[in-house]
Structure 1
């Protein structure tokens, strides 16, 4: 479902860009919109969070299966213009996501042992460099990349209970690198910017169970978030 949704968005982007690139020159909307040094906007979007697991040994028959779902994001955008092609952006957001984990350990006999629902609420703080092309009619494609950190308000890091009590624990703070692309669309009254961005955690987020031989966490060497953000920015 995630791949189909992203493919649909990419196709919509491509069709709009083709219509602008191969059409005759049009009257430009908001011709001086990008001139101010500072600007700001609102962000609404969707997110698809996943986990990548590295194991301590060959445990293919005990892989943790991740069932992700579509989450929601809301935030603000602050933009500092360097020149016509470079901008620095700060995009603080609050993101909500749910991931369901299935532990395929032969020791587990029921769903209480096998299944864990991981609900996360992140305060996500990315600092990004935006590199744009020349404006073409009323569109301006760009790529974006940078680093970010997040605070997981639902991490359970300090909870003394672990998976033996049904509590899956994660570290509160995580660092990421991000890369993506998007299109500035200059409409009659405002600028609308859809963008897609990949988010990749740089650190281990797993809090091991209290028992070093835990059937849940002893086979996991590293657990890190990866995800896709589909953002819609309004300025």
Structure 2
């Protein structure tokens, strides 16, 4: 979160400086594009997700190795007034996270511990449904900063929730359905033919996503009280 808000401060400072520097009126592109009650678009982007863990006992942290994932989706925008829009952004989010377990989690493990026991690859493919409120500033020539906040629900197609095998057979399982809240910001750039919008936002799971192993003493799941996704989306939108 501190990186998100630090970036927010930098972008806001740059935007304010540019507004002061270029406050002279310029020819505005796409003057009527924001007047439509309904408008449509699409986005492409990247994500970087990890997990937040809440533990039952202090046995050390499970380390999450993150990688860059991919986002793609559509946008449906409902205009409320000049400063408020309601947005539905259904899309597909693909991500992978590797979990590295401390060796002391396996102190009471009956079998010999191998490197594969200490590592779990968590591949996630979310069908994502965010409902967001976009709060915009006054348009400054051909740019308009905004913030986003809202909630989302997702279906994890790679969850393994119904898989009868668990970590004892090498299968890490998550719940199929997840809920999130989101907070971010972006800037609309009004170009000659379309509106281009880069944005960044943090996503934070509201529910526990872990499916426990059958063995209540499982070294992979017994010490986890709660496991929740968190991360950053960077999207580029065309409308």
TM-score by length of 2: 0.90
Q: 1:48-80 CA deviation, whole Å, 9 max, x = no partner?
A: 1110000012222xx210011110000000000
TM-fit CA distance, 1:25: 2.2
Distance change >3 Å, CA 13–CA 112, structure 1 → 2 = same
SS of 1:161's equivalent?
coil
TM-fit CA distance, 1:17: 5.8
| Residue 219 of structure 2 corresponds to residue 221 of structure 1 | no
Q: 1:175-217 CA deviation, whole Å, 9 max, x = no partner?
A: 1111111111101110001111110000000000110110110
Distance change >3 Å, CA 10–CA 93, structure 1 → 2 = farther
SS of 1:18's equivalent?
helix
CA contact (8 A) 1:132 1:140 kept: yes
Matches within 5 A, 1:172-187: 172-187=176-191
Out of 197, 205, 208, the position equivalent to 1:204 is 208
Matches within 5 A, 1:1-235: 15=14, 18-23=17-22, 24-60=24-60, 63-106=61-104, 107=106, 109-235=113-239
Distance change >3 Å, CA 8–CA 83, structure 1 → 2 = closer
TM-fit CA distance, 1:26: 1.4
CA contact (8 A) 1:105 1:215 kept: no
Rounded to whole Å, the distance in 2 between the matches of 1:199 and 1:231 is 13
SS of 2:103's equivalent?
coil
TM-fit CA distance, 1:111: 1.4
Rounded to whole Å, the distance in 1 between the matches of 2:92 and 2:74 is 9
TM-score by length of 1: 0.92
Segments of 5+ residues of structure 2 without an aligned counterpart are: 107-111
Rounded to whole Å, the distance in 2 between the matches of 1:180 and 1:9 is 8
Q: 1:8-28 CA deviation, whole Å, 9 max, x = no partner?
A: 898678646633442132111
SS of 2:168's equivalent?
helix
Distance change >3 Å, CA 12–CA 177, structure 1 → 2 = closer
CA contact (8 A) 1:204 1:224 kept: yes
Root-mean-square deviation (CA, aligned residues, Å) is 2.1
Structure 1 match to 2:109 = none
CA contact (8 A) 1:126 1:146 kept: yes
